[in-house]
Amino acid sequence: MNWTELKEAGQLEIIKAESHQQPVLIFKHSTRCSISRAVLDRLERNWNHTEFAAIKPYFLDLLAHRSISNQIAADFAIEHESPQAILIYQNKPLYAQSHFGIDLTEINRAANKTVVS
């Protein structure tokens, strides 16, 4: 899985702009949480580059960048959780789940709704 690291608050504006072209996934990860590690491992193990080619994935180490996590919560009106996956399209969250509720099938289903037939 080719994560783009989310390390600067200014990247949120880039994400918002990119979300008008393609779905963007933000994964918020806590390096101190075993559940977060398990969910991250599951995502990376099951990510199919062909199937999810339309989605641009971003990775946020929320312990190192908590202020960015707080800004995501404010900008997209989504309560902070960890681990958390948020799929954004046209600057709106289409999918937001946390812990073991994070499901690639559901992320893909939400992303596929953005495709114009």
Residue 114 is predicted with a pLDDT of 76
The answer to whether residues 43 and 34 touch, using CB atoms and an 8 Å cutoff, is: no
Residue 117 is predicted with a pLDDT of 40
Domains and CATH numbers, the chain: 4-112 (3.40.30.10)
- What separation in angstroms does the CA of 105 have from each of 33, 54, 79? 23, 14, 22
Residue 1 is predicted with a pLDDT of 82
pLDDT in tens, 102-117: 999 999 999 988 765 4
Does 42 score more than 70 pLDDT? yes
Q: Other C-beta atoms within 10 Å of 97: how many? A: 17
pLDDT in tens, 53-79: 999 999 999 999 999 999 999 999 999
Residue 87 is predicted with a pLDDT of 98
The answer to whether residues 4 and 34 touch, using CB atoms and an 8 Å cutoff, is: no
The answer to whether residues 88 and 94 touch, using CB atoms and an 8 Å cutoff, is: yes
Whether the predicted model's global pTM rises above the 0.75 cut: yes
Beta strands in the chain (DSSP E): 4-5, 24-29, 56-61, 84-89, 92-98
Length of the chain: 117
- If you average pLDDT over every residue of the chain, what do you get? 94
Residue 113 is predicted with a pLDDT of 84
